[in-house]
A and B are shown apart, each in its own frame.
Chain A
Amino acid sequence: MSANWQSLRSRLPGSRWAVISVPYLWLLLFFAIPFLIALKISFAKFEMAMPPYSSLLNWEDGFLVLKLRLENYLYLVNDSLYVNAYLSSLKIAVIATGLCLLIGYPMAYVISRMEPATRNIALMLVVLPSWTSFLIRIYAWIGILKQNGLLNNFLLNIGLIDAPLKILYTPAAVYIGIVYAYLPFMVLPLYSNLVKLDRRLLEAAYDLGARPWRAFLAITLPLSKAGIIAGSMLVLIPVVGEFVIPEMLGGPDTLMIGRVLWQEFFNNRDWPVASAVAIVMLIILIVPILIFHKSQAKELEGRLA
C-alpha cells in the first residue's frame, strides 16, 4: 500500500510543476490568448448587437463556413487617417525617446559616479515621482503650460516674451509630457548599466593620454549599449500606443494611434476596426518588443553567470 502510494506520488507532478504552471497558465489565459481573440475579431464585421461583431463560423446550406473579412484591414490601409496616425505615433515616439536619452544619459552617468550613499538617495529621487499618479503628473503640466499658466506668467514677468505662448494643445506639450513621464524609465536601466562599468578601463585610457570626451566615446558609450537599448525600448514601445498624454496635452490635430483606437472603441463602438488597429500596432511593435525581450534575458543571464 505504502509502496503504491510512493509510486503514485512520484508520478504526480510535483511542486516544481505547480510553481511553473500557475503563473504560466495565468499569463497564457489573460495575456496571450486575448491577442488571438483580438486577431479573430479583427476579421469580423461590425454589427449592431452585443457583442457588436459577426461570428466567423456560420452554417450555410449544411456547410460550416469560415469567413475571414479583410475589410477592416483594407479600411485601415485606404483611409489616410490611420496611416498618418501610425506614422505620426512612430515619429513622436522616436523623437521623444531621443529626448529622454539626451536628458537621461547625463543624469544616469552623474548618479552612477556618486558615492554609494548619495547615489541611492539620488536614485530614489528619480524614481519617487513615478510612484505618484501618472495621470496627476500629466495634469500638473496643464496648469504650467496653458495660456495664463505658470510658464507664460513667468516669461511675461521677466519680460522675455510680450504675448503668452501657445504651448498647451500643441505637439510641443505632448513631447514635454512624454519626456516627463517616461524619463525615469530611461534613467534606471542606464544607471544600472553605468554603475557596473569598470573604472579601471577609463583610468587606463586616461593614462594612455585620452581626453575625457574621447575616453567617453571610446569606452563608456559603447559599454553602455545594453542600457541604452533597454531604456530606449522601455520608452519607445509604450509611447507608440500612448493615449493619456496626447489626449490631455495635445490638440485635436495631435494624431496618435492610441487615441484613434480609443475613439474607435469608445465613441464609434466599432470593435472589429479597433481590433484591427491593435493588431497592426502589435505587428509594428513586434521587432522592438523582441529586442527588449532579448536585452532583458541577457541582463538576467549576465547576472547569473
Chain B
Amino acid sequence: MSSRRSGSTSTWLVLGLGFFFLYAPILSLIIYSFNENRLVTVWSGFSIKWYGELFRDQQMMKAAWISLQLAFYTAWASVVLGTMAAMVMTRFRSFRGKTLFGGLITAPLVMPEVITGLSMLLMFIALRGLLGIELPLGMTTIWIAHVTFCMAFVAVVISSRLSELDKSLEEAAMDLGAGPVKVFFVITLPIITPALLSGWLLAFTLSLDDLVISSFVTGPSSTTLPMKVFSSVRMGVSPKINALATLLIAVVSTVGVIGWYLMARAERKRARDLQLAANQ
C-alpha cells in the first residue's frame, strides 16, 4: 500500500515538473502581453494597448493573411496526398519501388529544414533553366514546399489509424461486390474521418508555423507571418509579439480542445455502434 502511495506522489511530481516546464513559458507570454510597459518583463499595470498596436501593424496583418491562406490550401492538398500515401503504405500489396516510397514518406519527418529548404529552392531554379517552367518564387513555391513536408506528417497520422483498423468491414464490402474505390469512399473514409481532421489541423499548424523552408523558397513579395515575427524578434523583444502569441495560443488551444472533444465523441460513438452491431 505504501509503495502505491509513493508511486502516486512521484507520478504527480514527474507530471507536475514536466507540465510546469512545458507551460510556464507560454503562461509568461500570455501574462506579459497584458503588460502596459514597453519592457516586456517589467510589470507596470494591465493594458490591452499592445493588441491595438498589433492590429494597426499593416505589414504584420498582411503577413498573417498570407500565412492563413497558405496554411488553408496546404492543409487540403496535404490531406488528399497524405491519405493516398497512407493507403498505399497500409492497404496496397507490394509493388516495385515501395521501399523507396516508404523512405520518401518518412524522410521529410526528420530532415533538417535547412537542407529541405535549400534543395527545393535549387530545384525551382533548375526547373526554370531546364524545362523553362517559370514558377515565380512566392505563394506557389511555398505552397508546394509546405505540401511536400506536411503530407508526410498527415500520412503518418492516417496510416497509424488505418493500420490499427479492423480490416474485416472493408473485406466484407469487397466480398459483397463493391469495388476498391467504392469501398474506400463508403467504408474506409467515414471511419478515418477523425484522423483526417487531425491530419488537416496538423498540416494547417505546421504550415502556419514554418519559417526556415519558407524563407528559402519565397520571393520578394511574399512575407509569411513567421518571417515577419522572426525579423521583428531579431530587432528585440516587443510586447506586440506577446499579443500575437497570445492570440495564436488562444486560437490553437480552442481548436485543439474542440477537435479533441469531437474525436473523443466520434470514437465513443463508433465503439457504441460496434457494440450494438455485435449484440445484434
Contact = CB atoms under 8 A, between A and B. Distances in A.
Interface of A: 15-16, 19-20, 22-24, 26-35, 37-38, 41, 51, 103, 106-107, 110-111, 113-114, 120, 122, 124-126, 128-129, 131-137, 139-144, 146, 148-150, 153, 180, 183, 212, 233-234, 237-238, 240-244, 248, 258, 261-262, 265-266, 271, 274-275, 278, 281-282, 285, 288-289, 292-293, 296-297, 299-300, 303-304
A41 to B, nearest CB: 6
B212 to A, nearest CB: 6
Closest 5 CB pairs of A and B: A241-B112, A34-B119, A140-B25, A34-B123, A237-B110
Contacts of A243: 113-114, 212
8 contacts: A131-B253, A136-B248, A139-B237, A212-B3, A237-B111, A238-B112, A244-B230, A248-B233
Interface stretch (B45-53, B54-62, B144-152, B187-195): B144-152
Main SS of the interface on chain B? Answer: helix
Contacts of B109: 234, 292
A23 B81 contact: yes
A51 B125 contact: yes
A242 B107 CA distance: 16
B63 interface: no
Contacts of A38: 115, 118-119, 122
Contacts of B41: 143, 146, 148-150, 153
B115 to A, nearest CB: 5
B172 interface: no
Contacts of B151: 23, 26-27
B104 A32 contact: yes
A278 B119 contact: yes
Interface in B189-210: 201, 205, 208-209
B39 to A, nearest CB: 8
Nearest to B102: A297
A24 B97 contact: yes
B84 interface: yes
B101 interface: yes
A304 B26 CA distance: 39
B25 A292 contact: no
A19 to B, nearest CB: 5
A143 B113 contact: no
Contacts of B10: 110
Contact of B28 (A113, A120, A143, A212): A143
Given A22-B84, A293-B103, A244 B212 contact: yes
Interface in B84-106: 84-85, 87-90, 92, 95, 97, 101-106
Interface centre among A241, A262, A282 (most CB of B within 10 A): A241
B220 interface: no
A20 B92 contact: yes
Contact of B229 (A31, A41, A135): A135
Interface residues of B, number: 90
Contacts of B116: 31, 34
Given A23-B81, A244-B212, A107 B15 contact: yes
Given A23-B81, A261-B114, A303-B160, A133 B209 contact: yes
Interface in B1-44: 3, 10-11, 14-15, 18-19, 21-26, 28-29, 32, 40-42
B15 A131 contact: no
A136 B241 contact: yes
B104 A300 contact: no
B216 to A, nearest CB: 7
Given A19-B84, A303-B160, A304-B90, A241 B120 contact: no
Contacts of B114: 241, 243, 258, 261-262, 278
B66 interface: no
B63 to A, nearest CB: 13
Given A34-B119, A144-B28, A248-B233, A110 B95 contact: no
Contacts of A41: 122
Contacts of B18: 103, 106-107, 126
A219 B22 CA distance: 29
Contacts of B28: 140, 143-144, 150
B122 A128 contact: no
A37 B125 CA distance: 10
Nearest to A107: B18
A289 B110 contact: yes
B253 A303 contact: no
B111 A131 contact: no
Given A139-B229, A303-B163, 10 more contacts: A23-B82, A23-B105, A132-B245, A132-B249, A135-B209, A139-B241, A140-B29, A237-B112, A288-B110, A293-B103
